[in-house]
Amino acid sequence: MKKPTPPGNSQGLSRRTFLGGAAAASTLAALDVQAQPSPSNAARAPAPAAGSFELEEATVSELQAAMQSGRHTAHGLAERYLARIQELDRQGDTPLKSVIELNPDALAIATALDEERKAKGPRGPLHGIPVLIKDNIGTADKMQTTAGSLALVGAVPSRDAFVVERLRAAGAVILGKTNLSEWANFRSTHSSSGWSGRGGQCRNPYALDRTPSGSSSGSGAATAANFCAVSVGTETDGSIVSPSAASSLVGLKPTLGLVSRSGIIPLSHSQDTAGPMTRTVADAAALLGVLAGIDPADAVTASSKGHAHADYTRFLDPNGLKGARIGVPRERFFGYHPATDALITQALELMKAQGATIVDEAHIPNASKLDEPEMEVLLYEFKADLEAYLAGLGDRTRLKTLADLIRFNEEHRDTELPWFGQELFLQAQEKGPLTDKKYLKALAACRKLSREQGIDAVMAKHKLDALVAPTQAPAGFIDLVNGDHWLGSSSSPAAVAGYPSITVPAGYVAGLPVGVSFIGRAWSEPVLLRLAFAYEQASKHRRAPGFAPTADLRQVAKV
């Protein structure tokens, strides 16, 4: 999920922050946009006709009200979303390719939930709500669970992932699986985010020649395009908040341990988590209440006892910024894209107008020291955790080791390695067991530098409720030849610490979304949701995508 720091990059920016972008506030930014070539003629082909959609931008509460009144049914909602996926995701010269597989039982499940509603009433806020989940989240049904790789086709898990069990118990209708950056974007140092051997190249619905960002690329693009009500992504470092920002969504990365990882194809047990990707903060809060829970199969979730809430919507307050202390970590997390900085400056001014105290220059200590130990930890844990997952599949796969996957990719170069390689796989393969002193030293450094000497230190020093920074720059071009072009992001401190963060739409540059991130201490989801909701209600930046062939450079000077 992270690339090594490119030579000459003094900021040491992280793996999935691969975004180039349009600019607006300065000549430098404008030149940056205009200088980038289009990746192909196909990317400039006519956009699909979006047309009008009855359920466009519908929220969970609105859909529940429609089902309760009888105006809609769960079957009808699922049918409409499935038809839209077929129309806009799979057809035309530039299909979005955000959905990797549809659930053949979705309509039958929806029908059963309609009957249950009539007989007993709804189970809760997600009863009958159509949901998409990322293709590394296990389902023991007629769908595949592959992390986008052809290597795992046919290796169906013996049980649902815990979060899937929670969704089904809540009455959600799982429409299908979303495309992703293969192996959670931890295969190559030159990957194109949103590409997988099984799903092809996912596109950004705001500009079809732009990256959807990764690794929860399909979840981001599909939710933004109104292919579902809400979706579930996963993150190790940036893979929820990055694609959410790129598609003008709310993306919430929970505290490590709030949401179970059992049944999810792993990258790193010290950083992995699943989380909501939605169009509103209220929907993220509703979904988080369903996903959170203690799972005996994932020991880290025991730490959430006393911290988890069944209903996070009760923390939403339109006046939630009043009296809040917001820190601004300008060092390292600003300055890589002037137009993005301009939008976040506007966001901070709005927060101040809503009653927040803005504490400028609230730098996160040691943020620049995280990249090297984080990568060391990820390489070790990826090999160990993935091989444990493969062992758990039993005789459903003959591939048992990372070496087996490396060999599979070499034997299927035409479909798995046509554009970029598997450098990270090869680096991980060289690592030893999790008892190695080098691993233990790197893990200890990550925890100390990101927690007590990082986020905790700056928040205690300034008595902060949250830190606020740009999530990342606007989306760069899809480039299958050279890989992602990226500038910067703010995801790493919270990711390495295992602390929560939430991104909210902050505006647009040349029609490309920009997000603002709220970052907090462990178990501070209620505080972050309150702040994010208040900002969202005051700003109202979210707008549906138009499936444009490319970014509108006429808007470059209109930040």
User: Which DSSP string corresponds to 294-314?
Assistant: --TTSGGGGGGTTT--S-GGG
Asked whether residue 3 is assigned to any structural domain, the reply reads no
Confidence of residue 122 (pLDDT cuts 50, 70, 90): very high
What pLDDT does 395 receive? 97
Asked whether residue 20 is assigned to any structural domain, the reply reads no
Confidence of residue 555 (pLDDT cuts 50, 70, 90): confident
Asked whether residue 18 is assigned to any structural domain, the reply reads no
Asked whether residue 14 is assigned to any structural domain, the reply reads no
Residue 209 pLDDT > 60: yes
* Span 152-179, pLDDT tens digits: 999 999 999 999 999 999 999 999 999 9
Percent of the chain with pLDDT strictly greater than 90? 88
Confidence of residue 21 (pLDDT cuts 50, 70, 90): very low
What pLDDT does 39 receive? 33
Which residues carry out catalysis? Answer: 134, 215, 239
* Span 341-398, pLDDT tens digits: 999 999 999 999 999 999 999 999 999 999 999 999 999 999 999 999 999 999 999 9
Confidence of residue 126 (pLDDT cuts 50, 70, 90): very high
Confidence of residue 90 (pLDDT cuts 50, 70, 90): confident
Asked whether residue 443 is assigned to any structural domain, the reply reads yes
Asked whether residue 9 is assigned to any structural domain, the reply reads no
10 Å CB burial of residue 390 (0-12, 13-18, 19+) is buried
Residue 28 pLDDT > 60: no
What is the domain-level CATH number for residue 311?
Answer: 3.90.1300.10
What pLDDT does 7 receive? 32
Amino acid identity at 549:
P
Residue 46 pLDDT > 80: no
What pLDDT does 51 receive? 58
- pTM for the complete prediction? 0.92
Asked whether residue 8 is assigned to any structural domain, the reply reads no
Asked whether residue 22 is assigned to any structural domain, the reply reads no
Mean pLDDT of the region 441-448? 98
Cβ density class 92-118: b for 16+ within 10 Å, e for less:
bebbbbbbbbbbeebbebbeebbebbe
Q: Provide the number of structural domains found in the chain.
A: 1
Beta bridge partners, 477, equal 210
* Span 230-262, pLDDT tens digits: 999 999 999 999 999 999 999 999 999 999 999
CA dihedral 33, 36, 40, 44 (to 10 degrees): 20
CA–CA separation, 435 and 427 (whole Å):
18
More confident residue, 502 or 47: 502
Which structural domain, as residue segments, surrounds residue 465?
A: 27-555
Integer angstrom CA distances of residue 210 from 247, 313, 402, 479: 11, 33, 31, 9
370: tokens are 């995280």
